[in-house]
Amino acid sequence: MKTIAILQSNYIPWKGYFDLIDRVDEFILYDEMQYTKNDWRNRNQIKTASGPAWLTIPVDTKGKPLQKIEEARVTDHHWCRKHLNALRMNYSRAPFFPEYFPRIEELYRQCEEEEYLTRINERFLRAICEILGITTKISRSTDYHLIEGKTERLVRLVQDAGGSVYLSGPAAQSYIREELFKEAGITLTWMDYAGYRPYPQLFGDFIHNVSVLDLLFNTGKDAIRYIRERE
């Protein structure tokens, strides 16, 4: 039995995203989808003394309402320096910052001249999975034959990847046609993000939906425990 998940790439996403990756045998990046503004594709939040703050990669969207995620281009390459400065300023006192920041800093350096958002996101996702000890295979939808139809395409991707179980994010319940998975002999299951345990965190009240970097800098090697274990 092989379990597949298919999801658009996000920039330094929250722990739930990595929980989804950790629960499957193959994770397919679905950047054939339309790019959406003011979404998680090019931005995420960190925690600061003044509350949550956005780290955003500037992307060219002018006159391109239908562009795909894989087509989105970075417009200002100073974003790397700005994001590194924000991480230093807000996490330098986190207990595991000295241990993990050099690796994160190197990731940013590698992305300084990268033109496409999807490549930046994939580089971070793969590296953070490695740091966390997540060994799931990560592939891209373009590695497979794509067909028309929202649900039909997902079914074919799971089939082509040799999957028998599809783990979907809960937001897809609004459009997925469950009967197509049943007809294809694929078990459809839904991800549940409830029950994550709070962890030691800087700056006041605990917040769950911030970048996984917050978890990593605050808990170090225990980060994967907080991803896998529920209350």
CA–CA gap between residue 101 and residue 92 (Å, rounded): 9
Q: Is 71 within 8 Å of 41 (Cβ atoms)?
A: no
For the stretch 67-104, pLDDT in tens is 999 999 999 999 999 999 999 999 999 999 999 999 99
* Total Cβ atoms within 10 A of residue 220: 15
Partners of residue 131 on adjacent β-strands = none
Q: What single-letter DSSP state applies at residue 113?
A: T
Of 127, 132, 112, 106, the residue nearest 220 (C-alpha): 132
Q: Which two tokens stand for residue 195?
A: 């029950």
Give the predicted TM-score (pTM) of the model: 0.96
| pLDDT tens-digit map of 174-201 | 899 999 999 999 999 999 999 999 999 9
